[in-house]
Structures are given as structure tokens and as C-alpha cells.
Amino acid sequence: AQQWRGVIREYADRLPVTESTKIITLGEGGTPLVAARALSELTSCTVYLKVEGMNPTGSFKDRGMTMAITAAVQAGAKAVVCASTGNTSASAAAYATAAGLTCAVLVPEGKISMGKLSQAIAHGATLLQIDGNFDNCLEVARKLAEAYPVFLVNSVNPARIQGQKTGSFEVVDALGDAPDIHALPVGNAGNITAYWKGYQEYAAPFQTEHGELPAVASKTPAMWGFQAAGAAPIVAGHPIDQPDTIATAIRIGNPASWQQAIAARDESAGVIEAVTDEQILEAHRWLSSKEGVFVEPASAAGVAGILKKYRAGELTAGQSIVITVTGHGLKDPDWALKNPDGSAVQPEKVEFDVVSVARALGLEA
Ligand code: F0G
């Protein structure tokens, strides 16, 4: 079989590119749709995880970044900028490097994980820690791109949404149709916007330069978005000035794609609800210890949401559910090294002889 060619080449006829577009790719997309055995057993539904940590920089952002950096190159840009809680900056830095562009990233000071910070630094981005939160960073990045010759690669850039909609295409291509429910975390609300766009496009005939493509899916799923309770502006109905959650990736008080997220919710007969940090950490542990899938805390918000809805009796047996788990566990491994009560996990020390090891394993009295 031919190697996966990245989302732009795989879905070129459904993306704003032409034969002459210079494509910047690191081979993103083509991520596994993993059967969630324990979640399926618990809920009596068929639950799958779209494991986006398998992208080149370890998060779903790469799907949008291949498009955004390709568009930046096409526009003749020399420099790109983004605001980020960490994953966008890691992705922008990597794709800018692949394109030979310089990259500046604005991140909230002290609130992004070491893994993500190290990626931006390793790829040579100019990293500026702003004395403010993500929303402040995005405001500055937007103004910078308006006033100076730098290209904005946040998800307010429509190219990002175009690239990220390929997540839905892959789900339908793998399952043969759309699921009943698609659950995911919501931060700046670009991803729920993109998935909904992708599902809608796949459920109707699609006009291309070369003619009409038939519908691929017979239906669209209900979009179920989950925000962290301390950073849930869409649920509250107003911006949150001081968003706070351990899920730093979605610590956002004023999402840029707010209206599009509400449209996705309402048009799909879905929901946008909040899950607490405790529920997020429970789901994070569930994924690691029961499904074998290691994610960063924010990425578990969709799973936390499904567990919450199940316990509220709001799932129907037999439904098919896809949950996007958005980023890799190694991005932010500290949470795995804490017990549920917050104390540090202490590996047991053993002497280097077989009997001691066997004893520690309960194989020897
Ligand atoms: N999960 C992870 C791991 C994220 O990094 C983000 C967003 C989201 C979920 C939410 O997606 O913003 O499209 O609703 N991270 C952005 C960043 C804000 O800067 O990396 P969204």
C-alpha cells in the first residue's frame, strides 16, 4: 500500500488547493480510530477514540497547520504568528520550519506544559511568554498580524478549519458512515467548528473544480462539545475573565469561534456542556488504565463528557459514538505521576536479584 500522504493530498479535491499549490506537510492525519473496549462495555454503545496524539507534533492541530502554513507560503509570507496554550505553537513551529518561515508564538506565562514549550523551542520559534491568559495572547497576535507583515495561523484563519475538517472525513471513511454522536473537548472552538463542517460536507453532494462528488455519509452526528467547568464561557453564556482548569490546553475564556460552536451544537441537535477537573482527571486515568490510550488532560474532556452523560442516563444502548482525544499524553506527563489524591506516585525500589523482584511481584512469599 502507498504511504499516507498527509491530509491535503489525501483530500485535495475537498480543500482549497490546486495542482500548482506548494504543499507543506509532515504527513499529518491518517490517525487511528481505536475501539474503546471498556467504554463500549460500560455504556452498551459502540465507542471509538480518534487518537489525534498520533499526528506529527502530537496533536490535532497539525491537520489545520498544514493548510495554514501552505496558505502562508502561497501568500508570500516570511513569518507567522500564533497565540497558544501550547499545541498550536508546537505545530506552527514545526510546520514553519518545514516551510522555511520564521515563527513567533505568544503563550500565557507559566500555564503551558513543558512538553509543548520544548517543541516550540526545539523548532526554533521565537517564544514570548505573555503576562496574561490565552485570550490576551490571541488579541495581541491578531493586532500584530493586522499591523505588521506576519501571517496569523490561529484557527480564526479559515485555512485552519479547512484542514481540521478532514478529521470527520477520516471517521466516516473508517466507519462507512457518520456516528450517532461525536464528542470532543472545546477550547477556542475551532475544532468543533471544523468537525461539523466536515460532517456536513460529507453528508451532501460536494462541488469541485472537476465536477460533483456524491455524498459519502447518510447522516450527520450530534456534536457534543465539553468545556472545563472553570473555563466554560459557552455554557455560561458570557466570557470568563479568569478561566481556570488543570486542562491548560482549554483554559480559554472567550473562544474565537464561539458563534460557530453554537451553530454546530444547534444545527446538529447536540450539546455543549461542562465537565469538572475531577471528571477530566478521572477520564484521563480511565483512558490510560482501561483503554491503553495515553492523552493529555484536556484531551480527556470528551471522554469525561460521555461518562457524565452515561451516568445521567442520556445515552441510548447501541448508539455509535466517536470521541476525539486531541493530544498525546507525553505532552503533559506530570498528571500520570500523581495519585488521585494529588500525592506523587513513588516507584517501588527493589534490589537487583531475582528473588527480590519476584517478591515485589507477589510471585514469592
Ligand atoms: N485539546 C487540546 C489538546 C488542545 O490543545 C486544544 C486547543 C483543544 C483541545 C481545544 O480545541 O481550541 O479547537 O476548541 N488548543 C489551542 C492551542 C487553543 O493553542 O493549542 P479548540
- If you write DSSP's letter for every residue of 196-243 in order, what string do you get? HHHHHHHTS-EEETTEEEPPS-S--PEEEEEEEGGG-HHHHTS--SS-
Residues near ligand 1 (Cβ within 6 A) = 59, 61, 84-88, 155, 185-191, 249-250, 296, 298-299, 326-327
Q: In which band, very low, low, confident or very high, does the pLDDT at 163 lie, cut at 50, 70 and 90?
A: very high
Tell me, in angstroms, the distance from the centre of ligand 1 to residue 185's CA. 8
pLDDT of residue 149: 96
pLDDT(42) > 80: yes
Tell me, in angstroms, the distance from the centre of ligand 1 to residue 354's CA. 46
pLDDT(127) > 80: yes
Residue type, 353: D
> Cell numbers 520550519 correspond to what residue?
97
Q: In which band, very low, low, confident or very high, does the pLDDT at 17 lie, cut at 50, 70 and 90?
A: very high
Residue 79 C-alpha cell reads as 513569518
Residues comprising the binding site? 87, 187-191, 326
Closest by CA to 51, choosing from 59, 42, 40, is 59
Decide whether 33-59+164-337 matches 61-159 in CATH topology.
yes
**Residue of the CA atom closest to atom 10 of ligand 1:** 187
Q: Which residues make Cβ contacts (< 8 Å) with residue 285, sequence separation at least 6? A: 340
Ligand 1 mutation pick, 134, 191, 331, max ligand atoms within 8 A of CB = 191
Closest by CA to 90, choosing from 63, 136, 123, 68, is 123
Q: Which residues make Cβ contacts (< 8 Å) with residue 165, sequence separation at least 6? A: 194, 195, 197, 198, 201
In the chain, the DSSP E strands lie at: 33-35, 46-51, 79-83, 102-108, 126-130, 151-152, 181-185, 206-208, 211-213, 222-228, 271-275, 320-325
pLDDT(342) > 90: no
Closest by CA to 15, choosing from 162, 206, 201, 196, is 162
Ligand 1 mutation pick, 59, 155, 262, max ligand atoms within 8 A of CB = 59
Residues comprising the binding site for pyridoxal 5'-phosphate? 87, 187-191, 326
Q: How far is it, in rounded angstroms, from Cα 65 to Cα 87?
A: 11
Domain 61-159 class in CATH: alpha beta
Query: Per residue in 247-296, pLDDT tens?
Result: 999 999 999 999 999 999 999 999 999 999 999 999 999 999 999 999 99
> Cell numbers 459502540 correspond to what residue?
46
Average per-residue pLDDT in the chain? Answer: 97
Q: Which atom of ligand 1 is nearest to the CA of 194?
A: 13
Tell me the pTM: 0.97
Q: Answer yes or no: is the ipTM higher than 0.95.
A: yes
Tell me, in angstroms, the distance from the centre of ligand 1 to residue 189's CA. 8
pLDDT of residue 352: 95
Tell me, in angstroms, the distance from the centre of ligand 1 to residue 128's CA. 19
Q: In which band, very low, low, confident or very high, does the pLDDT at 341 lie, cut at 50, 70 and 90?
A: confident
Instruction: Kindly list the distances between the CA atom of residue 61 and the CA atoms of 95, 152, 164, in Å, as whole numbers in the listed order.
Output: 11, 14, 7
Average pLDDT over residues 311-326: 98
pLDDT of residue 210: 87
Tell me, in angstroms, the distance from the centre of ligand 1 to residue 47's CA. 22
pLDDT of residue 110: 87
Q: What is the CATH number of domain 33-59+164-337?
A: 3.40.50.1100
Cα angle: 164, vertex 122, 68; to 5 degrees: 25
Q: Which atom of ligand 1 is nearest to the CA of 154?
A: 19
Show me where the domains of the chain are located.
33-59+164-337, 61-159
pLDDT of residue 11: 98
